[in-house]
Amino acid sequence: MLFLLVIIGSVFSIAEGRFETVNKADEAAQARSISEKVAITIEEVYAGGEGHEIKIEMPPDIKGSNYDVSVNQSGVLIQVGGWSGYSYSFFKKISNYNLNQEEVTMHPNKNYTVRNVKDGKSNKVIIF
């Protein structure tokens, strides 16, 4: 009887570990999806030329976890639950509405407008 209890306990422990792995994998997939969404939006806005803009809505959380998104000229970094993911982008000038930052932090549960504006002889992507 004790042997049967040990086996059942082991099976439950393995099953719990598998479910946790699946949840973490789903969290990582959602994080990757957000970083790709932001990177693609920046590419589309830049390709659209001066004045082109797209609104983007950040989800409130990823599987119940807070996350951070940082955007700079080389891509989009997302960090969630000890994991980080990066979506590369071709070099573009990135700034916030002050026009003086090289990195923009996007927060959960907020809406942003990504706009292509003229900055001297070149274009700049503004996130606000």
* Residues 39-86 pLDDT 10s: 899 888 888 888 889 999 999 998 888 999 998 888 899 998 878 888
Buried b / exposed e across 26-62, counting CB within 10 Å, b at 16+?
Answer: ebbebbeebbebbbebbeebbeeeeebeeebebeeeb
pLDDT in tens, 81-106: 878 888 887 667 776 666 666 788 89
Q: How many domains does the chain have?
A: 1
Question: If you average pLDDT over residues 17-45, what whole number do you get?
Answer: 80
Please give the residue range of the domain that contains residue 48.
2-127
Q: Which two tokens stand for residue 117?
A: 């504006």
Q: Are 109 and 59 in contact (CB under 8 A)?
A: yes
Cα first-last separation, the chain: 64
Q: Is the pLDDT of residue 25 over 90?
A: no
Residue 125 clears pLDDT 80, i.e. is over it: no
Residue whose token pair is 């809505």 = 57
Which pLDDT value is given to residue 98?
A: 63
